[in-house]
């Protein structure tokens, strides 16, 4: 499955019940999760808003069905008869004032060590009674941008962009931030990394780069998020 970008004019969300698991699947999931935590003790079984399904229409509308799960459900991937549940995520394209695009490399303590991607992350569910909507997506994207790069860009400054269908069936929501001076982007990340390291916390990005084309992305050492080259191509007008 290859990644895709969709231009969406109407976005709607509906919450559904979590998938039912057989006893065998739950046992297998718990065992796999325990093994993953032993390999990476920083993994946290926190709440996530997971993709349960989606439906597109002929007028660029998208209906997203989602459910409340925790990270351990990722351990179901690849198991026979496991429910088809994928990730929902947000990502931010952060330009520099000279037209380049910031990308970060995930640190060894993350779930995807060594992978290049824009600032962003898995979507957290809204509190009970709150709606999952574009406003919540934008707020979550701004928070991820701040936590990974040290940016202070407010949520209402982020511009909604295309929806991403990832290579593993995940669904993402792209935003574009206002341009920042290239030096500022590097210095803010460096200061964030120093502060987190001094407090005993590993930064999510162990390195950031500014790329000027999809070719420069391909030249970076290591893998990149399945949708990143498409998003970079759209950004640079390729």
CA separation, residue 148 to residues 74, 92, 112, 116 (Å): 22, 11, 14, 13
Model pTM? 0.92
**What integer pLDDT is reported at residue 68 of this predicted model?**
93
**Residue ranges in the chain modelled with pLDDT below 70:** 1, 238
d(CA 153, CA 162): 20
**What integer pLDDT is reported at residue 25 of this predicted model?**
93
Residue 159: other Cβ atoms inside 10 A: 13
Q: Which of 109, 192, 111 is nearest to 149 (CA)?
A: 192
**What integer pLDDT is reported at residue 91 of this predicted model?**
97
**What integer pLDDT is reported at residue 168 of this predicted model?**
81
3-class DSSP state of 37: helix
**What integer pLDDT is reported at residue 205 of this predicted model?**
96
The first and second tokens of residue 106, run together, are 């995930």
């Amino acid at each position: 499955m290859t990644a895709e970008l969709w231009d969406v004019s109407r976005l709607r969300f509906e919450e559904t019940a979590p998938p039912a698991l057989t006893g065998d699947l739950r046992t297998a999931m718990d065992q796999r999760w325990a093994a993953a935590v032993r390999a990476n003790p920083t993994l946290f079984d926190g709440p996530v808003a997971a993709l349960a399904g989606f439906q597109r229409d002929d007028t660029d509308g998208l209906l997203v069905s989602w459910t409340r799960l925790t990270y351990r459900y990722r351990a179901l991937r690849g198991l026979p008869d496991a429910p088809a549940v994928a990730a929902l995520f947000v990502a931010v394209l952060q330009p520099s004032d000279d037209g380049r695009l910031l990308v970060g490399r995930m640190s060894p303590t993350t779930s995807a060590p060594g992978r290049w991607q824009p600032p962003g992350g898995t979507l957290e569910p809204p509190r009970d009674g709150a709606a999952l909507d574009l406003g919540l997506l934008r707020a979550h994207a701004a928070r991820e941008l701040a936590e990974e790069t040290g940016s202070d860009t407010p949520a209402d400054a982020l511009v909604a962009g295309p929806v991403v269908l990832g290579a593993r069936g995940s669904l993402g929501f792209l935003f574009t931030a206002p341009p920042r001076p290239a030096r500022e982007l590097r210095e803010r990340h460096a200061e964030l990394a120093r502060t987190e390291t001094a407090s005993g916390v590993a930064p999510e990005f162990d390195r950031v780069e500014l790329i000027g084309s999809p070719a420069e992305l391909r030249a970076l050492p290591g893998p990149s998020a399945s949708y990143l080259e498409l998003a970079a191509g759209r950004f640079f007008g390729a």
